[in-house]
Structure 1
Amino acid sequence: MIGTALEWYDFMIYNTMAALIFNKLFFPTSVPMIGTLLAFSTYAVGYLSRPLGGVIFGRLGDRIGRRTVLMVTLIVMGLSTSLIAVLPTFAAIGIASPIVLVLLRLAQGIALGGEWAGAVLLTVEHGVAGRRGLNASWAQVGPGLGTILSSAVIGLLVTTLDNDQFVGWGWRVPFALSGLLVIFGLVLRRSIAETPMFQDLKRRDAIIRTPVSLLLRRHKRGLLVAASSRIGPDVLYALLVVFSITYVNQIDGLPRRVILTALLAGSACGVVMTMLYGHLSDRIGSRPIFAAGLLCGIPVAFAFFPLADTRQFALIVLAVAAGLAIHAAMYAVQGAIITEQFPPAIRYTGASIAYTFGSLAGGGAFAPLIMASLFRETSSTLAISLYTLAALLVSGAGMLLARETPAGDEADP
């Protein structure tokens, strides 16, 4: 959970800065919204590179072990984020600046592409049988904690520095902190043993040499179901956590601290609800929890903008917090749903590829860019709400094909 939180802290620091000031620092143009679109393009690069990380690290996770791969992903993420802290802006080195920024964002995405599945498998395969939902939800808490940490750090800087200080050097501080956090995460992960399930595969000489090939030949349905579970939640999350920053700050004209406080409160709410939903899923099943989240996510997609347009602080916090609490219903059980679709010998590969390609196929990679483009073309938020609705419906269709494996049913391919 802590290792995943640190990786998502790195990822969310970038996402938040892309929405706040990267358009001015790395993509300066005479039209602010164009700069914002370019900044969100680098956000998309982090998602586009995830499938590559999923394939590379997923295969390694099934070949050499979950723990070793998680050490590597944490190092790659930490180094790439720390280097952003010392990256000169466009004003200093010109076009080279956004090019290097994109390359570092690429590295972030590759690392995160291999992180999620390993973190979920570490908790599921070390956990007590019969509690797969709760076990998987521990890793799902990590992104919420990472968002809380990133929002808190940026919020502190925004409230203590004036605009010139924040734009001049303050934005670099959260990226620099990443190096210290990575050391902490590595110490934790070194203390964890390899999962009993992977050790058992090694003892029985059941390690699959070509997990990707076997996955594509025999587990197409599992891939489809697992990937579809990413689409709706990803787009809803992008609306609430990424595009909301631009909308509240640039469109509604409210101070940055308003939306950052809302994200902080909403993420804290999401963390608590994730654990509750995970526990509940072991009693009534993962799919009913996911379906309830989908249904409740539909009104969120249409209610968020009217609440934001009131420009009332309490209502904006309510919109984000309620939205993330509902998103948590889907996200909490996502780990259990995805891992249930694949046998242990190819589980890291299957979960990684499904998780990363599902987000890419569903538009999660481009969701903020799509939302900004829709708003720019229509000058209306209705198209954004309809786009979110479509994504949620696709995930709902995928759940109709899902299977829910009883705890302990761990047949090999």
Structure 2
Amino acid sequence: MAQPTRRIKHATLASTVGTALEWYDFSLYGTAAALVLPKVFFPSDDPAIGVLSSLATFAVGFLARPIGGVIIGLLGDRFGRRQMLFVTLLLMSASSVLIGCLPSHATIGLLAPILLVVLRVLQGLGAGGEYAGAMLLSAEHAQAKHRGLNASIASVGNAVGSVIATAVFFLVQGLMSDAAFLSWGWRIPFLLSFVLAVAGFVIRMKVTDSPEFTAAVAERGVVRGRFADMFAEGGRRIPLAMLMSIAPNVLSYLPSVYALSYLATSVGTASWVGLVGIIIANLLKLITIPTAGWLSDRFGGKPIMIIGSIAGAVLFYPFFFMLDSGTPVIIWAALVMIFTLCCDMSLASQASMLSMLFPVRLRYTSVTFSREITGAIVGGTLPLVAAWLTGLGGGQPWLVCVYCGVLCLLCAAGTAALPRTDAHQLERDAAVSR
């Protein structure tokens, strides 16, 4: 008797929980870079300079992600997805714990920010291979008709990790005086990464490797893929996949990182307002991301990505208009509008398309390269560029709106040029060819 199939696989849930614990580290740094690290590691008479310096270290992590992504991707295509997820977990958690142990600028001077940058680079190396590995492991365990749903759920792990990081940061900050928090309290969320890392290792021990990868190894043996093979076999899909990855970065890091800094420095709201808004937006992702993944299975990833990208381009100006109100409820609605609704359409459709865009033996490398190069160029620099454009605009965010809108439209154009990869379309194409 045939066993019933599950729409959402055990491997998807297990890898997503692991991703949530791991993404706690990366999200925590983004929050701290906007609100704490400028004062601890980059003290300056001009607060804007401290913020810009701190956001620059945020960008450094993204610049390291393509390097880590390619290295981990090549190894993942050779030895399996599961093994690499242990490597990424170790890199990210160890870096976070050590950040929590770093002496401040007041203690060791210039050496403090230098060490911070080194650890941020190590964190970026791990993050470069994490999401792609979890997404591919989930997608490759799933049936074709549920592939988009399973692939997208890895992004739920990112949201859960961000909620935990923001909530812990907010809780510790709320229980302490400002002086105590800046002195040592901010370290507690980073040190907690050790406990979460142990849990992540235990959970991932129970996950088997991808059936598609295992079948490929059984058929051809372990194949040592070359970096050049990715371009030879990927062709124009590589640059188009890079364009497709623009909107997920813009719609993620503008609201979750730069908006926190903008609210604190330009609007003058208390830090808890933005943090609560990020928590609300991330909690809603538990519903919106799987829904967008299901829609990608139903209608294809391309239309969902294009809708999300164009919606973001249109809504950036209303987003900042709502932030400028200074009213908590309106600010929270703005964050949900961009960070949840628009962003999740792009994240889910990206996962759905990338998981079927490249051949199995080069898939991990191709996905990490195309995704992380764009992440470094766009996502990592976005908070810094946005802060600079706001200053250039006399404190007004209209230049930021134009910049982000153009980026999202480029994403929509690149996505439109890609072939459809949803299971239903592939089946129809195969039937026509017969």
The alignment's TM-score, normalised by the length of structure 2, stands at 0.92
Equivalents in 2 of 1:75, 1:370: separation in Å?
Answer: 31
Q: Does residue 102 of structure 1 match 2:117? A: yes
Contact 2:52 2:384 in 1 (8 A): yes
1:186-232 residue CA offsets vs partner (Å, 9 max, x unmatched) = 11111111111111111112543234221112213111121111112
In 1, Cα distance between equivalents of 2:331 and 2:422: 41
Map 1:355-370 onto structure 2 (within 5 A): 355-361=371-377, 363-370=378-385
1:224-243 equivalent positions in 2, closer than 5 A: 224-243=239-258
Please state if 1:390 is matched with 2:382. Answer: no
Partner of residue 253, structure 1? 268
Match runs of 1:12-411 below 5 Å = 12-324=27-339, 325-361=341-377, 363-379=378-394, 380-407=396-423
Q: Secondary structure at the match of 2:161?
A: helix
User: Which amino acid in the other structure matches residue 149 of structure 2?
Assistant: L
Contact 1:208 1:346 (8 Å CA) reproduced: no
Aligned partner letter, 2:409: L
Provide the rounded CA distance (Å) in 2 between the counterparts of 1:130 and 1:207: 28
| 1:248–1:308 Cα contact (<8 Å) kept | yes
Q: Is contact 1:158–1:256 with CA below 8 Å preserved after alignment?
A: no
Q: Cα distance, 1:157 vs. partner?
A: 1.6
Which residue of the partner structure matches residue 431 of structure 2? none
* Paired residues, number: 409
1:165 Cα offset (Å): 1.6
Q: In 1, are the aligned partners of 2:292 and 2:344 still within 8 Å (CA)?
A: yes
**In the aligned structure 2, how far is the partner of 1:8 from the partner of 1:226?**
23
CA drift of 1:82 comes to: 0.6
Q: 1:206 to 1:343 in 2, by over 3 A?
A: farther
Q: Percent identity?
A: 36
CA contact (8 A) 2:57 2:120 kept: yes
1:54–1:114 CA contact under 8 A, matched in 2:
yes
Query: CA contact under 8 A between 1:223 and 1:341: conserved in structure 2?
Result: no
Distance in 1 (alpha carbons) for counterparts of 2:382 and 2:422: 34
Post-superposition shift, 1:406?
Answer: 4.7
Letter in 1 for 2:349: V
CA drift at 1:271: 2.8
- One-letter code aligned to 1:342: F
**Contact 1:136–1:333 (Cα < 8 Å) also in 2:** no
Distance 2:421 2:336 in 1: 32
Could you report, residue by residue, the CA deviation over 1:134-171 in whole angstroms, capped at 9, with x for unpaired residues?
Answer: 01011111111111111111111222212112111111
Match for 1:296: what amino acid? A
Give the Cα–Cα distance (whole angstroms) in 2 for the partners of residues 255 and 332 of structure 1: 32
Distance in structure 2 (CA, Å) of the matches to 1:265 and 1:182: 25
CA distance in 2, matches of 1:12, 1:218: 34
1:45-90 alpha-carbon deviations (Å, 9 max, x no partner): 0100000011100000001111001111101111011111110000
- The answer (yes or no) to whether the contact 1:340–1:403 under 8 Å persists in 2 is no
Deviations 1:227-260 (A, max 9, x none): 1111122122221110111111122111111110
Distance (Å, rounded) in 1 between the aligned partners of 2:222 and 2:417: 28
Determine the C-alpha separation between the residues in 2 that align with 1:393 and 1:114: 27
How far did 1:300 drift?
A: 2.4
What code does the residue aligned with 1:383 have?
A: L
- Aligned partners of 1:336, 1:229: CA distance in 2, in Å? 12
**Structure 1 segments unaligned to the other structure (5+ residues):** none
User: 1:370, 1:393 → 2: CA distance?
Assistant: 18
> Which segment is superposed worse, 263-272 or 19-28?
263-272
Aligned partner letter, 1:348? Y
- Separation in 2 of the partners of 1:332 and 1:149? 21
Q: Which runs of 4+ in 1 moved over 4 A?
A: none
* Structure 2 unpaired stretches of 5+: 1-15, 428-434
Instruction: Please report how far the alpha carbon of residue 388 of structure 1 lies from its aligned counterpart in structure 2 after TM superposition.
Output: 0.6
Distance 1:406 1:166 in 2: 49
Q: Is the contact made by 1:19 and 1:40 (CA closer than 8 Å) also made in structure 2? A: yes
Q: Report the 3-state secondary structure (helix = DSSP H, G, I; strand = E; otherwise coil) of the residue aligned with 2:236.
A: helix
Q: Distance in 2 between matches of 1:404 and 1:131?
A: 16
Classify the secondary structure of the residue corresponding to 2:418. Answer: coil
Aligned to 1:405, the other structure's residue is in SS state: coil
Q: Is the 8 A contact 1:207 1:345 kept in 2?
A: no
3-state SS of the aligned residue for 2:101?
A: coil
Cα distance change on mapping 1:206 and 1:404 into 2, 3 Å:
farther
TM-score (norm: length of structure 1): 0.96
More off after superposition, 289-298 vs 200-209: 200-209
